[in-house]
A and B are shown apart, each in its own frame.
Chain A
Amino acid sequence: MDNFLLGLSEFFERLPDRVLGARNFVLTGVVVISILMIWGIFTRTEMDLSTDAYLDETDPAIAALDEYRRQFGSDDSVLLVYRALDGDVFSRESLTAVQRLTDDLRNWQDLDPADYPAVIANVPVDFNELNHIRRVQSIANVRFQRNEGDTLLSLRLAPAELPESDEELARIKARALAQEDLVGMMYSANAEYGMIMIQTDFGMQPVEDYVPAVDAPDVTLDASFDFSADGFLELDFDEEAEITEVDFEPVDVFSYSAFHVATTAIWEQYEDRLEYYPVGAPPTMAFMLQTVNQLYVLGILMVLIFVMLLWILFRSFSAVLWPILTIALSVAWTWGVTVWLGITVSTFISLTVLLIFAVGIADCVHVMNAYFSYRREGEEHYRAISRSFGRTGLALLVTTLTTSAGVLALTTSELLPMQVFGFMSAAGVVLAFFFTVILLPILLDIWHPGFPGHEKLSIPDRLARVWNGFRRNRKIALIAIYAVLLYAGLGFGVGSYILFISFLTYAVVNWHQQILQAVPYIVARRPWQIVAVFAGIFGICVYGATRVEIDTNISELVKEDHPLRQAYEVVDENMAGSQSMVIVIDTRVDEGMLDPRVLQAVDDLETRILESQGEHLTRTYSLVNVVKDTNEVMNDGDPDFYRVPETRQMVSQLLYLFNSANPEDRRALVSDDYSKAQVTLNIRNSSTNEYQGFFDEIGDEIEASFAHLRDDFPELEINLTGSMALLWRMSDEISRSQVESFAIALSVISVMLIVTLGSLQGGLIAMVPNLIPAFLGFGLMGLAGIPLDADTLLVAPVIIGIAVDDTIHFMTHYRVQLIKTGSISESLRLTISHVGQAVMFTTMVLGLGFMLLSFSDYLGMARMGFFGSLAIVMALACDLFLIPALIMIFKPTFGIKNADKRISFLESPA
């Protein structure tokens, strides 16, 4: 094994010479393949941004949702909840504003886009998007039934012409608040809040190439339609006839966002009277897109920080350019290979890019740092290149294997986008390694970082020289001005962050050698105390991790003062709830829903679930409500008749009446053939954990209510579905599968370390410093009571992969040095000196870069940025202090016989 590892190191040492010898071949190959890949990216990329992409197509609830959409239309609505600024949605001013807004939304074609803002939140306002509006309901046009003499009136709650007198207005309000089915839906019980419900056709657009079977050439009506004899027609029927179901186009976040922006442009006009709290898929998805856009900005800033730090730390722009080029090529090839294989990519690609960035930077920094130090020691250029690959190559290989094993664990997920993400990330990590060993030697030969005493000073060198020339007072004054400018320009948060980076960089640039030299001496003095401190930290993290909850709550994905979160809270508090689900009842029998027994069962079900799930469920609404209401109205408002009538004939005729008066409402509740109906459930937003049992319990109640009908309706099918609900359940499933893949990744990495380090003892020693950063984030979140949600868990393996890389570099190098020198002390000293600086630099670059993500509005991302960068910094602390302490205590020899186990760091360095 030892010989194998040394052999590998030698292989990597010889590799640059071979590569340089074939530089034209390599460069031509890279250029040609890259062009092919980039061409593929631009011509063949298929990106699926739809939310449906994450759903498991085999789930019966998905089939039910498709069936539901075919029957009842899209369930994606904007619930535009508003608060009347004068405190009363029934005041003349509020009513007028809502009437106008409702009218604007319904008749948007009449509006002149020139009167509205052209851009909102950086998204252009396109009124054509409003074509998605199918129906707008509000106090302004909602109806109630009333019996007056011989007339069944379907009256508007508020007439279009508001009455002159205030008494009359007060009557409208009193009447409205007496409509049980409308309170909580259209307005709150205290009349402070109201809702405009904008129904859309999202998810209802047939796929572009959908052709109905009847469009095929030569298809004609069956001859029986052309009846021959007067007075009688009997259509033939063929139960074997092929029925083509329409497939619907998936909805992507961009359409939701564009729609949301267009509606916002309209309702903004009434902000002097109304304050808005929009919830529902379009506003939520619009926010998600804004987050993505914000992440782009943060991503660019992050790259800028990478660039600045690399430039300052290595004092040559080549140290910036080559890593960026290596990363860009890795990304291009990964993406290119994926699309050439015909695989559809998802939004996860941004995470893949992030990972490649981190790994690519780490790979290049380790090599360049080695090259830099060899040059400083006086090595000749080519020799320095060879030796730097010899020193780092093995560790690069091991980190590549462990990180890709970590992300490959994601492919155990059942969701296709996750599998693609896993494969792409693994490929990206391998490619980053490939380019580092194949291309970087050539690039370094073309242009390489200088070193102290180099004849031509780089810009950072010259700036440093100028700075060092200043007097102390002047330095302080300049620092003060810099700080003031930062705070004024960037605000407190980001300003402090940049200031912190600046000081840290200054310290590292000036004193990293001293720090690294001092480390072994500090450790040698108190190894046990250091181990105890880290053990304490680890213990706390493990304890915290056991308390961490896996939970996704849509509103809690954003900060407390974020409008989206406020909107959810307001709607949940004042209205019937910001979420909805549907129970789809399919009797599979024509006019099955007219059977009074079926209606009675639905009525029972509604009563049962309102009782048992009252905590979450605020309101149910179905055909039964209509039947009971119409029955009462038709019997002169006698409340005794607010019930399901006994005979089928009566049900049929009451619904016939309702259908004639209000066909649109009827169609929203029951299919045209009366075989299917839906029960709408209004639900308060809550975390997925609270809804753990919800699906099962509702299923039990359904069984209890309908069991006795199974004999008469053998094909009866009842499903709980709804798009938000499904997404909810899926994010919970993602979280759970992520925990599993996290565990798999940790085990795989452990096994690989044990194998690479050639001893169980060494492997375990190396694993301990890996476990601390891995558990740090989870532990702190558990202690702080922050739940782990799907998004946080997605990034976790990426961050952990990065954090453990430095440890692996450290341990691998130590092992090789031990083989070479045979002395623990000498190996440790050399490792800290050789790898310490590179580890310090990568930690700074990546840790500080990821820290930037914590400024995201999106808490899933912000938490990962924050806890992730803490993990990276913790990894550095482990490498510099814990590993040396463990080595000094346990003196692992990795099977090397007669190793010199003396520890020689007891005296302070000179």
Chain B
Amino acid sequence: MIARKLAILALAATVWPALAQQDPEQTTEAAPLPDGREIMRQVEEYQRATSDSAFNRMQLSTCRFGVSENRITCAERPRVKALESVSKNYGPEGLDSRGVTIVLEPADERGIGLLSYVYDDAERQNESWIYLSALGRVKRIASGNSDEESESASLFGSEFTTEDMDTGKLEQYEINVLEESTEGGREVWVIELIPNEERARETRYGRIVNYIDKERFVALRTDLYDHYGNAIKRMLSSRVELIDGVWMARSATMMNLVTNRLSNMAVLEIYTGIDVEDEVLTQRTLTDAAFRETRLQEIRDQVE
């Protein structure tokens, strides 16, 4: 874990001068904008770091929203799901990952588990299994064809989709730094991502505009546009905290600007550097209740 943190710091150290580099002849004029791709790579690197050997307690709240006295607020009592998740990075460079998420609340869904293996290799299909407690059965969710169109699924019925959670694939985007600005009182780079033709087919978004905190490399705001340039969704981050040397937004709010619904994902507790046995990230955790409880308890014990 220490090695990991060092690696990140080292990376930051190499990236930062590149970002901060200025053309000496232009010092009197406005500073040239830095390389957006490098910035985005850095942001994703931080994101990945928070999911390795990690145990989270999360809360997903969804509601219809409105504006009251200049505040964006739920216009109804939000529906809340409580989740626990364990994840770990795999592969030579830690680019693959495995994770298991268990629903604690609401009662109807208690015990539903989702196990997913994500592979960086585009040739290899991601795999996921769902355990349905009411049926007592586990089901692999798979498509029968290799050319599966990657339709992004809603995460636990929220406004977040799997696509919103994706990392990587930066090479499939044209990335431009539009300007330097401020967001929520902090200095940001406004960085635009435009999918290339290949990516455009897979994504709902025709343009993504990130407001990246210059100091913390966290997206404070993300505007998501459809293929016609209409803003359809917006994500706002709050409670940005330093977790094990990496800044992370522990409260992310995704607003659907068309349906006026928002979902907030709050990482109530996050622990990285947890010992996660490989066996925990298998189907046994889903089906074998006793095994699941024992192993999760072991992990809980590590953090409490």
Q: Which residues of A contact B (CB under 8 A)?
A: 70-71, 106-107, 109-110, 131, 141, 150-156, 159-160, 205-206, 212-216, 218-227, 230-233, 235-246, 590-591, 594, 634, 647-650, 652-654, 656-657, 659-661, 663-664, 667, 672-674
Is B266 engaged at the interface, CB distance under 8 Å to the other chain?
A: yes
B75 contacts A237, C-beta separation under 8 Å: yes
- Complex formed: what's the CA distance from A242 to B69 in Å? 9
Is B42 engaged at the interface, CB distance under 8 Å to the other chain?
A: no
A653 contacts B259, C-beta separation under 8 Å: no
Q: A219-B67, A235-B78, A673-B261 are in contact. Are A109 and B200 (CB under 8 A)?
A: yes
Is B25 engaged at the interface, CB distance under 8 Å to the other chain?
A: no
- Complex formed: what's the CA distance from A796 to B9 in Å? 82
A243 contacts B64, C-beta separation under 8 Å: yes
Interface bits B97-125 vs A (CB < 8 Å: 1, else 0):
00000000001110010100000000000
**Which B residues touch A233, using CB under 8 A?**
59, 61, 251, 264, 266, 268
Is B79 engaged at the interface, CB distance under 8 Å to the other chain?
A: yes
B258 contacts A660, C-beta separation under 8 Å: no
Is B72 engaged at the interface, CB distance under 8 Å to the other chain?
A: yes
- Complex formed: what's the CA distance from A567 to B61 in Å? 48
Nearest CB in chain B: distance from A858 CB, A = 33
**Which A residues touch B231, using CB under 8 A?**
212, 215
User: Which of B137, B257, B283 has a CB less than 8 Å from the CB of A212?
Assistant: B257
- Complex formed: what's the CA distance from A205 to B226 in Å? 11
B68 contacts A227, C-beta separation under 8 Å: no
Considering only CB atoms, which chain A residue lies closest to B75 in the complex?
Answer: A241
Considering only CB atoms, which chain B residue lies closest to A107 in the complex?
Answer: B201
A243 contacts B130, C-beta separation under 8 Å: no
- Complex formed: what's the CA distance from A150 to B73 in Å? 43
Is B182 engaged at the interface, CB distance under 8 Å to the other chain?
A: no
Is B63 engaged at the interface, CB distance under 8 Å to the other chain?
A: yes
User: Which of A225, A661, A664, A674 has a CB less than 8 Å from the CB of B251?
Assistant: A225
**Which B residues touch A153, using CB under 8 A?**
142-144
Is B236 engaged at the interface, CB distance under 8 Å to the other chain?
A: yes
Is B298 engaged at the interface, CB distance under 8 Å to the other chain?
A: no
Is B297 engaged at the interface, CB distance under 8 Å to the other chain?
A: no
- Complex formed: what's the CA distance from A557 to B147 in Å? 44
Interface residues on B, range: 35 or more
B66 contacts A131, C-beta separation under 8 Å: no
User: Which of A106, A225, A657, A672 has a CB less than 8 Å from the CB of B261?
Assistant: A672
**Which A residues touch B152, using CB under 8 A?**
663
**Which A residues touch B151, using CB under 8 A?**
663-664
A213 contacts B67, C-beta separation under 8 Å: yes
B239 contacts A591, C-beta separation under 8 Å: no
**Which B residues touch A238, using CB under 8 A?**
66, 68, 73-75
A653 contacts B75, C-beta separation under 8 Å: no
Considering only CB atoms, which chain B residue lies closest to A214 in the complex?
Answer: B72
Q: A151-B142, A590-B79 are in contact. Are A230 and B72 (CB under 8 A)?
A: no
- Complex formed: what's the CA distance from A214 to B221 in Å? 13
Nearest CB in chain A: distance from B64 CB, A = 6
Nearest CB in chain A: distance from B165 CB, A = 14
Q: A153-B144, A155-B144, A652-B109 are in contact. Are A206 and B230 (CB under 8 A)?
A: yes
B59 contacts A657, C-beta separation under 8 Å: no
**Which B residues touch A240, using CB under 8 A?**
68, 75
Q: A160-B145, A663-B154 are in contact. Are A652 and B108 (CB under 8 A)?
A: yes
Q: Which 4 A-B pairs have the closest CB atoms?
A: A241-B66, A237-B74, A155-B144, A151-B140
Nearest CB in chain A: distance from B206 CB, A = 9
**A and B contact pairs by CB, cutoff 8 A, 10 listed:** A154-B142, A160-B147, A213-B66, A232-B268, A235-B74, A235-B264, A238-B73, A246-B258, A656-B157, A673-B261
Nearest CB in chain B: distance from A171 CB, A = 14
Nearest CB in chain B: distance from A849 CB, A = 45
Considering only CB atoms, which chain B residue lies closest to A73 in the complex?
Answer: B258
Residues of B213-260 whose CB lies within 8 A of A: 227-228, 230-231, 234, 236, 238-239, 250-251, 253, 255, 257-260
Is B284 engaged at the interface, CB distance under 8 Å to the other chain?
A: no
Nearest CB in chain B: distance from A825 CB, A = 76
Of the listed residues A215, A216, A227, the one surrounded by the most CB atoms of chain B closer than 10 A to its CB is A227
Q: A214-B255, A652-B108, A673-B261 are in contact. Are A155 and B130 (CB under 8 A)?
A: no
Q: A238-B73, A672-B154 are in contact. Are A660 and B201 (CB under 8 A)?
A: no
A214 contacts B141, C-beta separation under 8 Å: no
- Complex formed: what's the CA distance from A106 to B114 in Å? 31
- Complex formed: what's the CA distance from A653 to B144 in Å? 22
Known: A159-B144, A594-B108. 7 other contacts (CB 8 A): A152-B142, A206-B230, A225-B236, A231-B57, A654-B135, A661-B141, A663-B153
B76 contacts A653, C-beta separation under 8 Å: no
**Which A residues touch B59, using CB under 8 A?**
233
B238 contacts A221, C-beta separation under 8 Å: yes
B147 contacts A152, C-beta separation under 8 Å: no
User: Which of B70, B257, B269 has a CB less than 8 Å from the CB of A218?
Assistant: B70
B73 contacts A634, C-beta separation under 8 Å: no
- Complex formed: what's the CA distance from A151 to B152 in Å? 20
B145 contacts A159, C-beta separation under 8 Å: yes
Nearest CB in chain B: distance from A66 CB, A = 12
User: Which of B74, B144, B230, B257 has a CB less than 8 Å from the CB of A205?
Assistant: B230
Q: A243-B65, A672-B159, A672-B261 are in contact. Are A219 and B72 (CB under 8 A)?
A: yes
- Complex formed: what's the CA distance from A421 to B137 in Å? 66
Considering only CB atoms, which chain A residue lies closest to B154 in the complex?
Answer: A663
A660 contacts B230, C-beta separation under 8 Å: no
**Which A residues touch B147, using CB under 8 A?**
160
Considering only CB atoms, which chain B residue lies closest to A103 in the complex?
Answer: B147
B140 contacts A657, C-beta separation under 8 Å: no
Nearest CB in chain A: distance from B52 CB, A = 21
B238 contacts A660, C-beta separation under 8 Å: no
Considering only CB atoms, which chain B residue lies closest to A153 in the complex?
Answer: B144
A634 contacts B135, C-beta separation under 8 Å: yes
Considering only CB atoms, which chain B residue lies closest to A154 in the complex?
Answer: B143
- Complex formed: what's the CA distance from A224 to B68 in Å? 13
A226 contacts B63, C-beta separation under 8 Å: no
**Which B residues touch A236, using CB under 8 A?**
73-74
Nearest CB in chain A: distance from B275 CB, A = 22
User: Which of A223, A591, A661 has a CB less than 8 Å from the CB of B79?
Assistant: A591
**Which B residues touch A673, using CB under 8 A?**
62, 64, 79, 157, 261
